Amino acid sequence: MAGGTQSHWSSRFAFLMASVGFAVGLGNIWRFPYVTGENGGAAFVLIYLACAFGIGIPILMAELLIGRRGQASPPNAMANVAAENGKSRKWGIVGGMGLLAAYTIEIVYAVIVGWVLWYLFTAITTGFVGMDGAAANAEFASILDNNLGMIFWTLIGLAITGMIIYAGVQNGIERAVVVMMPLMFVLLFGLAGYNYFAGGFDQAVAWLFTPDFSKIGPETVLVAIGQAFFSIGVAMGGMMIYGSYLPKSISITQSVFIIVIADTFVAILAGLVIFPAVFANGLDPAAGPGLIFQTLPVAFAQMPGGYGFSILFFLMLSFAGITSMVGLIECVNGWLEDSYNMPRHKSALIVIGSIAVLSVLSILSYNVLGDWTIAGKNFNDSLDYFSNQILLPLGGLLIAVFAGWVVNKEATRDELTSLNAWGFQLWHFLIRFVVPPALLYIFIKGVTA
């Protein structure tokens, strides 16, 4: 990094906590359980796991090995690895796509994390006592009209993230994630255990785990591929920069399996936290993003112990949001450090400051700039389309092509030493012949939808 010295994780546990924290975001906490229930329950989970192991794991291994091999931020890591293999350093542009995806996602995501912190504050100070559906909708609508409030809480979230980034890899990111992530697991287990006695648990288990193969079709497989790709957090720079901090002594293969299993486990456990409350109170499990901010507060108001449950729930969600923000920002921060030999404190301030300014446009898109559109999409929708439909699948496709076809087989073998010969051949086959067409399909479906 700055001055030519690359930071490293002090332990595999710290790396795993940072990586799982990055992968587990607000989206897959509410989306994975809902998508599972809508697409055949346990039958969908089996298809998802096949996609996660066939597509998610190979590309995550590729991203981590490129980061570790290149020992730099994503654009420079890919350029370094390309040069080592006698290829053009212009491959660094693909790493740049990941950075751009992370940056554009963060502009919108920071505002949503701000909502979570605002709801945490509300849960602590007033709770959701007496709140019904109309009141919950009115409360959320008032938040979307309160630009100063949204700016304040967005800045709080960015300030917390900025302090973690500012302190460095071991003193900042590690110290935060080794506390936040175990606490998040404890909170999830505790909240799921509470739901077991509070009601709605049996319905939630049936929703999530009853296999319904009649719902399985080509569209279901596409949903599973997309969920496997997006929920693990690849092609947005975070995993590649985390890979660059990974000591050679830590197995990429074993780590990746743990990350993917933990990510899936958290998402399913989140379903056992969210959906019992939804079913016990006769609410709509298909509420999408509104589930967290409009549906669940009604459940908290009606359930016994709802005051304490709501505080713990939004605290858990805050941890998920902040740890994802750290990964999104760290990859951009790392690029400024190693490209411009910039001290970390300066690069952190530049990245956080610029996102804070641009997040105001995201905030205004919920009200006064709502009618300001580009090709029929407002600012937030345009960023979402650009990052999720174009940059991520295209970037993931090119990373797979790079790892499978551009990098010498010997170089990838050197990074994946814990794989036996059969396992390595399987990975090499998947990264060359399975992952690229799957991501090309996601890309084409996304831009033609």
Confidence of residue 27 (pLDDT cuts 50, 70, 90): confident
In angstroms, the Cα distances linking 161 to 127, 301, 319 are 26, 31, 11
Kindly report the length of the chain: 449
Number of separate domains in the chain:
1
Percent of the chain residues topping a pLDDT of 70: 99
Taking residues 107-132, what's their average pLDDT?
95
- Pull the structure tokens for residue 273: 């936290």
Model confidence pLDDT, tens digit, residues 388-410: 999 999 999 999 999 999 999 99
Taking residues 89-118, what's their average pLDDT?
97
pLDDT at 5: 59
pLDDT at 2: 39
Residue predicted with more confidence, 133 or 17: 17
Q: What does 7-26 look like in DSSP terms, one character per residue? A: ---S-HHHHHHHHHHHHS-H
Taking residues 211-222, what's their average pLDDT?
89
CATH number of the domain encompassing residue 363: 1.10.4160
pLDDT at 4 over 70: no
CA 360 to chain centre: 22
Amino acid identity at 392: L
Model confidence pLDDT, tens digit, residues 162-174: 999 999 999 999 9
Alpha helices in 71-214 (DSSP H): 74-84, 92-125, 133-145, 147-166, 175-198, 201-209
Give the domain range for residue 151.
2-448
Confidence of residue 1 (pLDDT cuts 50, 70, 90): very low
Percent of the chain residues topping a pLDDT of 90: 82
pLDDT at 38: 86
Query: Which of 39-53, 101-115, 284-298, 325-339 shows the lowest mean pLDDT across its residues?
Result: 284-298
pLDDT at 3: 37
